[in-house]
Amino acid sequence: MSFPNGSVNGDEDILVLADEPISGRVLAIAGCTNSGKTTIAKILTSMVEKSYRRNGSSPSFFYNYDAKSAVNHEKMILAIKAGSLSYDYVIVEGNMLTEWTDVIELCDRVVFLTLDQDTCRRRRVKRKYDPPDVPGYFEEVVWPAYQQHLQRALAIAREDRRISFLDVTSDTDHADPEFMLSLIHSFSDDVIRICYEPLNVDEAVNPSCGATSVFVGTTRDTFAGRRVTRLDYESYDEMAYKELRRLCGLIRSKFPSVERIVIWHRIGEVAVGETSVIIATASPHRKDAIHATEMAIDELKRVVPIWKKNKGCQPQGVLVETDGETNECKVVMIVTNVADD
């Protein structure tokens, strides 16, 4: 890849003015090995890709190409900046992109592809690598490294809305372009977030559709006869994203007219009156939008691994923690003044 403002050619330096503003939009495609990152990149652009890998430190019997030390980080950063100065769109592809905060900061959007272990292993053994994988490399390096990258990406996504997740697991032994293209189309129209920050319902409405049905869930001030001061939400993010994507697919199969689906769920502490979940479906037909939203909230509560606990005070000043499903209470703190909570 070459740029008017610099070049990427062997060991040549890339010339970039540090104070020159980035003008192009940058999309990062991260995630599991053999998940189809390159396939998606080729679908989205005809630009020639360039690798920035180098051999890194590793156990004595193989090079570890799944460690951060295997990437020429400085050269990659300069290439992204140079590309964004010369092109309207830049696509950056790599399994470890979310390991660097400065890479994420350069991106307008980060898509992290996930894959189950069996599919990943099956695809990897059918590919040729130079150098080839040695026995134990997948189990000892590749998969643990992917899990590390995934957990870091999930943690960052709770506070950074630019990161999204797309499960690309399929029965094929390779990333099928038609399958990936169908995922791209659905992904671009579905917005899923699990985050700490407050939710804004205005961002969920699609003005281009004739009907948008919106469900807004808020924290109420009582539960089972007790006063509630807040809800605490916890989530198994990795499975939650997969289930939410699957739910979007189910909605689209049942209501083909739906053009956009938004599912945002807040985690952590949500005070009384604050929004904990927003679901919005947009369609040219109001009945489909209304029924799709109803299906979304029902299925979310039924299958998505997001849990809540009610926290509040009884009249006697005992702060209680209540399981939102079983109504069982346990005392977690004694307070002398309810108003101080």
Residue 234 has pLDDT above 80, yes or no: yes
Q: What is the pLDDT of residue 306?
A: 94
Q: What is the pLDDT of residue 222?
A: 84
Q: What is the pLDDT of residue 65?
A: 66
Q: Which residues partner with 89 through β-bridges?
A: 25
Is residue 149 domain-shared with residue 294, that is, in the same domain?
Answer: no
At which of 157, 188, 219 does a domain end?
A: 188
Is residue 53 domain-shared with residue 184, that is, in the same domain?
Answer: yes
Residue 261 covered by a domain: yes
Is residue 176 domain-shared with residue 209, that is, in the same domain?
Answer: no
Residue type, 133: D
Q: What is the pLDDT of residue 68?
A: 81
Percent pLDDT > 70 in the chain is 75
Note down the domain range covering 118.
25-188
Mean pLDDT, to the nearest integer, of 270-282? 92
Q: What is the pLDDT of residue 17?
A: 38
Mean pLDDT, to the nearest integer, of 73-86? 87
Is residue 195 domain-shared with residue 287, that is, in the same domain?
Answer: yes
Give the pLDDT confidence of 30-45 residue by residue, as tens digits.
Answer: 989 888 888 888 777 6
Is residue 45 domain-shared with residue 154, that is, in the same domain?
Answer: yes
Lowest-pLDDT choice from 132-146, 162-176, 310-324: 310-324
CA distance 70 to 53: 6
User: Mind giving me the DSSP string for 52-67?
Assistant: -B------TTS--TTS
Quick one: which H or E segment has residue 215?
A: strand 211-218
Q: What is the pLDDT of residue 149?
A: 94
Tokens 């209680």 belong to residue: 320
Mean pLDDT, to the nearest integer, of 254-274? 92
Residue 128 has pLDDT above 90, yes or no: no
pTM of the model: 0.73
Is residue 206 domain-shared with residue 165, that is, in the same domain?
Answer: no
Residue 7 covered by a domain: no
At which of 124, 158, 188 does a domain end?
A: 188
Check which CATH number belongs to the domain holding 167 and give it: 3.40.50.300
Is residue 284 domain-shared with residue 137, that is, in the same domain?
Answer: no
Is residue 31 domain-shared with residue 169, that is, in the same domain?
Answer: yes
Residue 1 covered by a domain: no
Mean pLDDT, to the nearest integer, of 224-234? 87
Residue 9 has pLDDT above 80, yes or no: no
**Could you give the strand order of the β-sheet that contains 306-313, starting from the edge strand earlier in sequence?**
268-271, 230-235, 306-313, 318-323, 329-334
Q: What is the pLDDT of residue 186?
A: 64
Is residue 281 domain-shared with residue 303, that is, in the same domain?
Answer: yes
Give the pLDDT confidence of 177-215 residue by residue, as tens digits.
Answer: 777 776 676 666 788 999 998 888 777 777 777 789 999
Number of compact structural domains in the chain: 2
**In terms of pLDDT, which residue wins out, 279 or 69?**
279
Confidence of residue 118 (pLDDT cuts 50, 70, 90): very high
Is residue 222 domain-shared with residue 79, that is, in the same domain?
Answer: no
